[in-house]
Each structure stands twice: as structure tokens, then as C-alpha cells.
Structure 1
Amino acid sequence: MIRASTFARLRGDTSGLALLEFALSMPIVLALGLYGVEISNLALTNLKLSQIALALADNASRVGVANNLSQQDLREYDVNDVLQAAKLQGTDLKLTANGRITLSSLEESNGVQRIHWQRCLGLKTGTGFDSTYGRTTIKNNAPSTADDSAASYDPTAGVNTASSGSPDNSASHPGSVITGGMGDVGSKVSAPTDSGVMFVEINYNYQPVTGTWLIGAKKLHSIATFIVRDKRNFTQVTNPAPTAKRNTCDLYTA
């Protein structure tokens, strides 16, 4: 039989009080600590994506090789170079495995804003990963408006196939007309008269440190634009021999 004095001693025993308080508070402290780590990583990932988008738009606005007309020809080789640079910058994020990069050439000619050509890199597909602001599309074998959801990507928009023995098809596939420019409402970007801008869009599935149980699934989005720096030949993207692979947006590769 337990004596009353035994209960009295237990009631007055405080030797395990600190351990008990720690056990009760540890889950709260741990959750707050993990949340802080996750939010910090999310902010850092957002910053990285922003810097990659800016670097890609900047690089794409500069590349090219001089032609006989004192202009810069943009080659598929050049486009591939700048896309690969973006991929390398995003290696630690596994950017092309977990996201999608879209590079668009928004150009102005005769008062018309047009997405002349687009190149893409990344495995992710569908709404939220394909371009949010317009696409080079084709429907019934004719160029379509950029917001036509029933149309598919036009892999021949703005390209030159002369090196393969076929005629230059850039005139018959000039891209897609876009009204009001590219970007979010209230901050859309338009190309200068008789010139163009490089518009970069990156969509990315955030890879959380602690799993989705803490902050849920996040899809990150970053855009950047630069006006084309040199006197570029806007009639086409050339592909002289030896030809380079075209990373058109109907393809989903890493």
C-alpha cells in the first residue's frame, strides 16, 4: 500500500522539471526552426531564378556574328549557347529537370508586335510551365495568334532552313501577332520600333528542404527582358553548316 508520504515526496520533486519543459517545447522550436530554413531557401531559390533569367536575357540580347550587311546574324548555335549557360547556372536547382525556360524574341515591324520565334529548354510541360505570355503557334498550317490555346507550338517560326537545301521558310512562318506586348497586366513589355527584345520566362517546381508538409508545393516564376543591343538581322534565325539542334518549344528536353 502506497503511503501518503510517498505522494507528498513526488509532489515536491522538481528534479525533472526542466527536461519536461524541454520535451513539451521542442516540437514547437523545431518546427519554427525548420520553417525559417525553408523560407530562407525559398527566398534564395527565387533570387537564383531571377539572376538566371536576367543573365539569359542579357546574353541573348548580345550574341550573334557579323554578316556582309554590317548586321549581326543570330544563329541556332548562339541560342543554344545561352540556353546551356542558363542550364549550368541552375545546376544546383536541377532547373531543366524541375522547370521550363522559354526564350522569346518579341519584335516590332510596321506597327505590329510579334513573337517571331521562341526556344525552350526543360522537361516540365503544360499550364504553368509553357509560356504564360504568348507562344509562336500554328493552326491549320497557318500562323495563329499567340493566345490561341487550340494551336500548337510552331517549330518553324522564324527559322532559316536554307543550309539543308530547303528554301528559307521564315517568311511563311513569321511567328504570332501579340497585342499589347508580353508580361503581366499593367507592366507589359513591347519591342521598340523596328527592333526587338529578348523576353525570358522561367517556371520552376520548388524543391523544398523539408518536404511539402511545411509550406506546401510551390511553383516559382521569374521573367526578364533586355533590348537587343546590336544591329541584329531580325528576318530569321540562321543555321549555317555545320547545323545546330533547334531547341524549339514543341520539344521537352533537359
Structure 2
Amino acid sequence: MSRSFFRRLKADTSGLALIEFAYSLPIMLFLALGGIELANYAVTQTRISQMTITVADNASRAKQVVVNANPRFREYDVQEVFRAAEIQAGNLDIRGRGRIIMSSIERNAQGGQWIHWQRCFGRGNFRSSYGVQGAGRTGTSITAIGPAGRQIVADAGSAIIFVEIFYPYEALSMPDIIRAPTIRKTAAMYVRDDRDLSQIYNPSPAVAVASC
């Protein structure tokens, strides 16, 4: 080949943009997919957070009005709260992959906090971070419930509905970008009326108990 050919080849820049694009494409693709993954994770976090608040709020309001007696909370009401959460979850499949743990936090006779009852929903293999049903029934070993800095304390004669939701996030395309894939949210709401706190009732026709 002649020297003139190599001079023309050296001066030829017609494919420069294509080569630069080929070099930058992996970086652009990584940034685009990473951005989509982080956005989806943030949206899922928000949806789980809103669901947690809704479960606590619904359970704090649900009741069966009883003539000449305080309203009662029933196993039927528990089922309805969980059913509403499943509808709200939509395609997140909270029943198949997640776990909702709903507890009634009350004050025991010694002034400590205790988990009077606890109900669960979902097949996810998660446990409450604060104890099981009956924990703290006597004594003052439990003084408050909840994450550090955001703990709650039930007053005498009242109850707080405390909800924990665990959900294992499923990545769209880049699982390594999410370092903590399990989403965990908590919410608490005071019971809104002078509810009968002695038990969860299950009048006829009885429904299945959503035990943990």
C-alpha cells in the first residue's frame, strides 16, 4: 500500500463518533439501568411505608359496636385489615413474599409495656423485632416498643396498634446495586375509642385466627 493511503487513513475521522459511542455505551447503560433500579426501590419503599401506616390506622379504627358496652375488636376485623393491605399491595405480593406483624401494645399491672396479642399475615419468614405475643405480660423488662429514637409507650387503660412489615425487594435487573434488599417499616396508632381490651373476640360465625 502507498504512503498516500496511510496518510488518508490517518486523516479519516468519519467513524470517530461511532467509536466514541461504542466506548461510552456500557457506562450510559449502567447509569440508566442503575437509575431505574434505584427509582423502583424508592417507590417500593414508599408503597410499603404507606401500607404500614394504613394497616395501623385501619386496625386502630375497626370495631364492633356493642350496646351498653365498649366496642369490641374481632378476628373478623383482623382479617379485613389484612385483606385491605393485600389489595393495597397490588403486584407486590405481600401474601406470598412479605410479612405483616400487627401487635397490641398495652401497659401491664406493674407499669411495664407488653404485647397483649399479635397477629400475622404473609408467608415471608420474618419475626417481630420486639417480641412475641405475651412478651412483657408482667414486670418492667419492656419499657418501650419501637426503633431507637422513635419508641412508643402505651398509657394505662389504652392500647397502641404497632405494625411491622417486612418485604424482600426483588431487583429488576441490577440486584448488586441494592445493599439491603429487605424493606422493613414500622408504624403505630393509638386505638381511637374506649375499646374492650380484654381480648380479640371471635363471635359466630367464627373466622380463622391469623396467629403468628
What interval of TM-score do these two structures reach, taking the shorter chain for normalisation? over 0.9
Structure 2 unaligned regions, length at least 5: none
- State the number of aligned residues: 211
Deviations along 1:23-80, one digit per CA (max 9) or x if unpaired, are 1111111111111111111111111111000011000001111224430111100110
- Aligned partners of 2:139 and 2:97: how far apart in 1? 28
Instruction: Answer 1 or 2: which has greater helix percent.
Output: 2
Q: Distance in 2 between matches of 1:200 and 1:24?
A: 49
Partner of 1:42: 41
Q: What letter is aligned with 2:150?
A: S
**Matched position secondary structure for 1:43:** helix
C-alpha distance after superposition, 1:79-127 (max 9, x if no partner): 10001111111122112222111000011243232101111011111xx
SS in 1 for 2:96: helix
The question of 1:119 aligning with 2:119 is answered yes
Q: Is it true that 1:233 corresponds to 2:201 in the alignment?
A: no
Conserved? CA contact 1:134–1:182, under 8 Å: no
- AA aligned to 1:32 is L
Q: Normalised by the size of structure 2, how large is the TM-score?
A: 0.93
Tell me which amino acid in the other structure corresponds to 1:246: V
Q: How much has 1:6 moved relative to structure 2?
A: 1.8
Equivalences for residues 202-217 of structure 1 within 5 A? 202-216=165-179
Aligned pair 1:242/2:196, yes or no?
A: no
Task: Provide the secondary structure at the position in 1 that maps to 2:192.
Answer: coil
Closer, same or farther in 2 for the Cα pair 1:42/1:175, shift >3 Å? farther
The verdict on how the C-alpha distance between 1:118 and 1:175 changes in structure 2, with shifts beyond 3 A counting, is farther
Q: What SS does the aligned partner of 2:83 have?
A: helix
Q: Where in structure 1 are there 5+ consecutive unaligned residues?
A: 138-144, 147-173, 250-254
Distance 1:4 1:46 in 2: 64
**Match of residue 179 from structure 1:** 142
Amino acid at match of 1:64: K
**2:95 aligned counterpart, secondary structure:** helix
- Aligned match of 1:198: 161
Instruction: Among all aligned residue pairs of Structure 1 and Structure 2, give the percentage whose two residues are the same amino acid.
Output: 40
CA contact (8 A) 2:112 2:138 kept: no
RMSD: 1.9
Cα separation, 2, equivalents of 1:176 and 1:76: 28
TM-superposed deviation, 1:195: 0.6
Determine the structure 1 residue equivalent to 2:131.
134
